[in-house]
């Protein structure tokens, strides 16, 4: 039995889409467990570029079943658009290949309105969200005023719920001089959307647990990264869901005893989108080099990503939090031109070296990174597929990162294409692949 969680071990955008696409060849089912269409997973196959927001990256592998779990918040219009895009590209998207949990919550138009109001009201303390209604959809879910995917397929219940919710939401909207919600056209539109996605709606908890009982293997795909986890990340500058490995349990209904390995994904440097503290951020020509060389622009919004040196102190925290079995390293080739590279090995706060990762963003803003400098290799690594082909200094850099974060780097992506991957043989790889 092999059921593996893939989780970002930085602030998201680590390249999980490519890693999941590559690993999907070794699994039967790929299940997404949290987030919404604020995530953007970019996958390149045969020169073609796919950007996926809701559908698991495994959809690009023939014969694989993809599941959108109950922990995901779903914008039905965005889902249908993504399905249509894939079909135009010749990818099979049928009810046999894609299942959507009837327990997943729905993002509705008023969630986007609420998010815009909140970001405006926060002013300089704004989070810098994608403005797609993700946070308010989760707020309404936990406030027990949400609409679930299965309810889109029950017209009488949907009408009743939207009428009830409109009474509450309109009191909020009027307080901010925003246009109130008319529940009738909203009902008509979402009843129509429910009819379109009904063939894909299923009890995915029962499906996944039955599949595992029958010996089929599941790859769990996370969105964002552990440092954006709503509980364990740099709160309040976080996403609205459990982006750490534990989210896979709640977000799919598969018990923890069924998980066999956790694969963390990290970049060879660090990036962050939106607001929030970022101790190793580089606002100089090296930061620009990383941004340009890595194509560091958000797949969902196109926003430029903030770039900085690899933060081993933060990744070590993420490795502990997720219980990572192994790590996958991406975008090593972006560092190829640099004569020397810095690695953050700890933080100094008001003259004191910290032993544990700080929970307070106010503390984190004052932290000074403690750096270790290593020589660069200044030799191309793009496209290499064997560990022995890497320059010795690149191998030493990878080995040093492994030592600092306390976890083996077992997979190394050397380019955007599917097959540009190095596997480092060892026990950690065996835990993930066999």
Q: Which of the residues are catalytic?
A: 13, 41
131 Rama class: left (phi>0) / alpha (psi -120 to 50) / beta? left
Bridge partners (DSSP) listed for residue 256:
none
Is the CB of residue 404 less than 8 Å from the CB of residue 312? yes
Cα gap 407→109, rounded to integer Å:
43
As given in the structure block, the two tokens for residue 319 are 């490795």
β-pairing, 340-349 with 368-375? Answer: antiparallel
Phi first, then psi, for residue 282 (nearest 5°) are -110, 120
> Edge to edge, what strands does the sheet with 201-202 contain?
201-202, 98-101, 65-68, 29-32, 218-221, 3-8, 261-267, 326-330, 409-413, 421-423
Q: Provide the H-helix boundaries in 176-236.
A: 183-197, 204-213
The answer to whether residues 130 and 38 touch, using CB atoms and an 8 Å cutoff, is: yes
Q: What phi and psi, each to the nearest 5 degrees, are found at residue 376?
A: -80, 170
What is the CB neighbour count within 10 angstroms for residue 360? 11
Cα angle value 289/291/296 (rounded, 5°): 155
> Distance (Å, rounded) from C-alpha 97 to C-alpha 29?
9
* 222 Cβ contact partners less than 8 Å away, ≥ 6 residues apart: 5, 6, 7, 8, 16, 32, 33, 34, 35, 243, 244, 245, 247, 248
Nearest to 293 by CA among 285, 281, 301: 285
| 48-52/98-101 β-pairing | unpaired
Q: How remote is the C-alpha of 318 from its chain's centroid?
A: 14
One DSSP character per residue, 141-177 reads HHTT---BHHHHT-HHHHHHHHHHHHHHHHHHHHHTT
Q: Which residue has the tokens 């209904």?
A: 253
């Amino acid at each position: 039995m092999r059921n593996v969680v893939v989780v970002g071990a930085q602030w998201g955008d680590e390249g999980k889409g490519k890693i999941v696409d590559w690993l999907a060849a070794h699994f039967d089912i790929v299940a997404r467990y949290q987030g919404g269409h604020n995530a953007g997973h970019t996958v390149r196959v045969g020169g073609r570029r796919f950007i996926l927001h809701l559908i698991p990256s495994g959809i690009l592998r023939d014969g694989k079943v993809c599941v959108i779990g109950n922990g995901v918040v779903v914008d039905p219009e965005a889902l249908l658009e993504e399905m249509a895009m894939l079909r135009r590209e010749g990818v099979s998207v049928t009810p046999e290949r894609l299942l959507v949990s009837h327990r997943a919550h729905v993002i509705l138009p008023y969630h986007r309105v609420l998010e815009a109001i909140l970001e405006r009201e926060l002013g300089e303390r704004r989070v810098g969200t994608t403005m797609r209604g993700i946070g308010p959809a989760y707020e309404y879910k936990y406030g027990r005023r949400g609409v679930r995917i299965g309810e889109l397929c029950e017209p009488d219940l949907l009408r009743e719920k939207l009428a009830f919710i409109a009474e509450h939401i309109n009191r909020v909207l009027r307080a901010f001089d925003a246009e109130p919600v008319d529940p009738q056209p909203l009902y008509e539109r979402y009843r129509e959307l429910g009819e379109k996605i009904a063939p894909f709606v299923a009890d995915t908890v029962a499906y996944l647990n039955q599949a595992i009982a029958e010996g089929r293997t599941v790859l769990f795909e996370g969105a964002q990264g552990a440092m954006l986890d709503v509980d364990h990340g740099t709160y309040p500058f976080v996403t609205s869901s459990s982006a750490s490995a534990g989210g896979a349990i709640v977000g799919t209904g598969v018990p923890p005893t069924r998980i066999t390995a956790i694969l963390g994904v990290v970049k060879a440097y660090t990036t962050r989108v939106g607001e929030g503290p970022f101790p190793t951020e580089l606002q100089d020509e090296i930061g620009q080099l990383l941004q340009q060389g890595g194509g560091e622009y958000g797949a969902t919004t196109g926003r430029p990503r903030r770039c900085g040196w690899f933060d081993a102190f933060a990744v070590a925290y993420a490795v502990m939090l997720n219980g990572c079995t192994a790590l996958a390293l991406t975008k090593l080739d972006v560092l190829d031109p640099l004569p020397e590279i810095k690695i953050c090995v700890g933080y100094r706060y008001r003259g004191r070296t910290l032993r544990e990762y700080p929970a307070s963003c106010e503390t984190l803003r004052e932290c000074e990174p403690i750096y270790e400098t290593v020589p660069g290799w200044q030799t191309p690594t793009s496209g290499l597929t064997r560990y022995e082909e890497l320059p010795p200094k690149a191998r030493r850099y990878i080995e040093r990162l492994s030592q600092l974060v306390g976890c083996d780097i077992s997979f190394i992506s050397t380019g955007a294409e599917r097959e540009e991957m190095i596997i480092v043989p060892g026990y950690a790889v065996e835990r993930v692949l066999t």
